[in-house]
């Protein structure tokens, strides 16, 4: 297919400000359908972006056979059921991160997509930057054996995770989508740590064997501060720190350091820059992008359309996203149990 037909399930903040505008403007995609249970919202969004087919139920959309691919941009805990229905109908799927909120559900989607010969990809925006490609090559080819990874992500999510009444404006984040564990599955971990570990696992191509996690909700209904220590399968250690307590004027800290036996890589996700330091001190720089944002919000759906058209590769494949979910699954269990927890792997007999 040269111009795949793509639909979007969910028309909330992120779909309305990232996915839908990018698809509508992309010459390589035909934005054909919207699925949104709030009929008035669905019609308004369809009119705004020139979408022909409007549905309030996913089953009706799938039965109409008007899409080749679907973007799932709904609350975290709904991802599995919606993505599974699409895959069972023979439709390729991009799921907004996190892929799911449990390892078993994530592995189920990967298995199903592979069995049907379908593409499953995840909305990890940082993967679609020049710095991400530079870092991946440097970590895999330049720094020798991976010894240690240190990752940090701060953000101002405290108000969002505090809950309260949702605003009337749909194109802004709705606190109850994130503050209600029944919808979000968790707080800083599923919303922000997923960025870091999604990048680490995609960059290294390595799964994590075991993780110990401390969490602090600071009186909120979901975790706000996460500190994790982990061990890679096959050797190498890592740490993750993430807090949602950033204040106005505080510079973002979204960064990952990879230390190897022959060098180090510094990845600044916030600026889109990276540096390789080889043994002996030689530095190789990947500067921030000269054009376009460091966080290209429309890139995942454009890449999804190109993937379906046969013009691109899967930059955020389901199997690596599932390994990220498995890491978070074990981290949340560790925070509850007070001990290190084994990270489930897709090859386990009872995943």
Q: Is 97 a catalytic residue?
A: yes
Query: Residue 167 has what pLDDT?
Result: 72
Average pLDDT estimate for 333-340:
98
Average pLDDT, stretch 223-242? 97
Span 5-125: which CATH code?
3.40.50.720
pTM of the model: 0.96
Q: What is the pLDDT of residue 164?
A: 76
pLDDT at 351 over 70: no
For the domain made up of 130-292+318-342, give the CATH fold.
Answer: Dihydrodipicolinate Reductase; domain 2 (3.30.360)
**Residue environment code for 115-154, b if the CB has 16+ CB neighbours within 10 A, otherwise e:** eeebbbbbbbbbbbbbbbebbbebbeebbeebeebebbbb
pLDDT value at residue 163: 84
Q: How far is CA 222 from CA 89, 90, 163, 218, in A?
A: 34, 35, 10, 9
Q: How large a percentage of the chain has pLDDT more than 70? A: 99
CA distance 133 to 135: 5
DSSP annotation of 73 = -
DSSP state of 3: S
Which of 5, 26, 76, 97 is labelled catalytic?
Answer: 97
The answer on pLDDT for 349 being more than 70 is no
Single out the residue of 221, 310, 292 nearest to residue 22, CA to CA: 292
How far CA 168 is from CA of 13, 75, 176, in Å, comes to 12, 18, 13
pLDDT higher than threshold 70 for residue 85: yes
Query: Model confidence over 100-118: pLDDT tens digits?
Result: 999 999 999 999 999 999 9
Check pLDDT > 80 for residue 258. yes
> By the 8 A CB rule, do 272 and 204 touch?
no
Strand order in the sheet with 263-268: 283-286, 273-278, 263-268, 254-260, 146-154, 237-243, 225-232, 208-216, 341-342
Neighbours of 183 (CB within 10 A): 16
* pLDDT tens by residue, 9-43: 999 999 999 999 999 999 999 999 999 999 999 99
Confidence band of 350 (pLDDT split at 50, 70, 90): low
CA torsion 76-307-300-88 (nearest 10°) is -10
**Residue boundaries of the structural domains of the chain:** 5-125, 130-292+318-342
What is residue 252's three-state secondary structure?
Answer: coil
Mean pLDDT of 255-282: 97
């Amino acid at each position: 297919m040269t111009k795949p037909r793509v639909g979007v399930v969910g028309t909330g903040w992120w779909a309305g400000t990232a996915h839908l505008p990018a698809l509508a403007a992309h010459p390589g995609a035909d934005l054909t359908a919207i699925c949104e249970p709030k009929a008035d919202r669905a019609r308004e969004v369809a009119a705004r972006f020139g979408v022909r087919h409007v549905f309030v139920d996913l089953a009706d959309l799938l039965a109409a056979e008007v899409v080749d691919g679907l973007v799932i941009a709904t609350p975290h805990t709904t991802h599995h059921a919606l993505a599974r229905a699409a895959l069972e109908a023979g439709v390729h799927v991009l799921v907004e991160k996190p892929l799911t909120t449990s390892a078993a559900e994530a592995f189920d989607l990967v298995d199903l997509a592979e069995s049907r010969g379908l593409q499953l990809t995840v909305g990890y925006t940082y993967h679609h930057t020049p710095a991400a490609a530079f870092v991946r090559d440097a970590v895999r080819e330049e720094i020798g054996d991976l010894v240690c990874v240190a990752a940090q992500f701060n953000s101002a999510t405290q108000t969002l995770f505090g809950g309260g009444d949702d605003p009337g404006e749909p194109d802004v984040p709705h606190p109850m989508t994130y503050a209600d564990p029944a919808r979000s599955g968790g707080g800083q971990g599923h919303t922000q740590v997923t960025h870091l570990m999604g990048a680490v696992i995609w960059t290294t191509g390595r799964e994590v064997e075991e993780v110990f996690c401390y969490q602090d909700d600071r009186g909120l209904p979901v975790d706000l501060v996460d500190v994790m220590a982990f061990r890679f399968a096959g050797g190498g250690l890592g740490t993750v720190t993430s807090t949602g307590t950033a204040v106005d004027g505080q510079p973002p800290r979204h960064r990952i350091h990879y230390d190897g036996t022959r060098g180090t890589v510094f990845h600044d996700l916030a600026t889109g820059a990276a540096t390789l330091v080889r043994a002996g001190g030689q530095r190789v720089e990947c500067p921030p992008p000269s054009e376009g944002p460091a966080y290209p919000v429309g890139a995942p759906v454009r890449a999804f359309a190109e993937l379906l058209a046969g013009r691109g590769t899967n930059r955020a494949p389901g199997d690596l996203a599932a390994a990220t979910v498995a890491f978070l699954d074990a981290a949340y269990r560790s925070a509850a149990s007070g001990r290190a927890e084994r990270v489930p792997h897709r090859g386990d007999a009872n995943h």
